[in-house]
Homo-oligomer: A and B are copies of this chain.
């Protein structure tokens, strides 16, 4: 409850509201003398300007939004998200911008959320988990809500993008596995309508050439387990599997081991996104750390620039580092 208002400060300092406002924002020249008086008064009364009043007057919410439509199970599995958010926040903190987080159960709710956000709640949005031909892109264009698309995206839009080069690390891992003597290398992907799953899967398919052995998972541990069971039941089973995230890789590793295989002797395993546990497992899991925090920072900066009217642009944040660990090294 903001008991003290700008009017109180003005009275205390013996000036008008406008002067207080100018003194604080510096948008008009103010004598050092009065500025000092205003600052002293503000300090004394412990005044914090009301966000709602400011938002109304300036037509800016000073907030950006992230809407998540994933089900909680998948969110909880995701080591990317918290680190990404932390990166976003580190940029927002500089400008007193708030982050609004919405988790919605279905598409209808998601659409309502964006409409409501664009009407005074938020100045922009970050789009995660992009799909091919994502319906949210045209919606946000219609709503004219500045946005940043996180993840590769092919179609041209009026929005900025932040993406990583997921192609390179996939090829790097495949090359490494080849060098270790593997010829039958499988891939358990994420849902292929996700842009980043598709990019990784395509890189894999291209890298292994003709004999691709691809199974589509959904990033959950149980899907990792199931797809692994299928692959290992093949007559000509793979000797190495690359998973599109660490959750599936760890579940797969466990399954393989419980069915009598030794890792990495009988089966090499690599993950993606470098879960915080991966380096601590035994065997430690080969994975790709993709710098989620750096992407968060880049996305937040691009969004702030867009809100201020800058031209949209695509930034390739390349912080992919492949960590080769015991699970792929005999």
Contact = CB atoms under 8 A, between A and B. Distances in A.
A276 B105 CA distance: 20
Contacts of A250: 277, 280-281
A214 interface: no
Given A76-B82, A102-B98, A119-B50, A251 B225 contact: no
Contacts of A119: 2, 48-51
Interface in A102-121: 102-105, 109, 115-116, 118-121
Contact of A1 (B103, B144, B247, B258): B144
Nearest to A59: B1
A55 interface: yes
A63 B280 CA distance: 39
A53 interface: yes
Contacts of A61: 51-52
A100 B102 contact: no
Contacts of A120: 2, 50-53
Nearest to A66: B101
B103 A89 contact: yes
Interface in A178-230: 221-222, 224-225
A8 interface: no
Interface in A250-282: 250-251, 254-255, 257-258, 276-277, 279-282
A138 interface: no
Contacts of A1: 59, 118, 144
Given A55-B52, A55-B55, A120-B50, A221 B276 contact: yes
A255 B79 CA distance: 22
Nearest to A281: B254
Interface in A16-51: 48-51
Copy number of this protein in the oligomer?
A: 2
Interface pairs A-B: 9 shortest CB-CB: A72-B86, A52-B55, A89-B103, A50-B120, A48-B119, A51-B120, A251-B280, A254-B282, A52-B120
Interface in A274-298: 276-277, 279-282, 284, 293
Contacts of A103: 85-86, 89-90
Nearest to A252: B280
A305 to B, nearest CB: 18
A21 B70 CA distance: 35
A269 to B, nearest CB: 13
A144 B56 CA distance: 24
A238 to B, nearest CB: 19
A2 B164 CA distance: 34
A90 B103 CA distance: 8
Contacts of A85: 75, 101, 103
Contacts of A59: 1, 52
A106 B26 CA distance: 28
Contact of A280 (B83, B116, B225): B225
A308 to B, nearest CB: 15
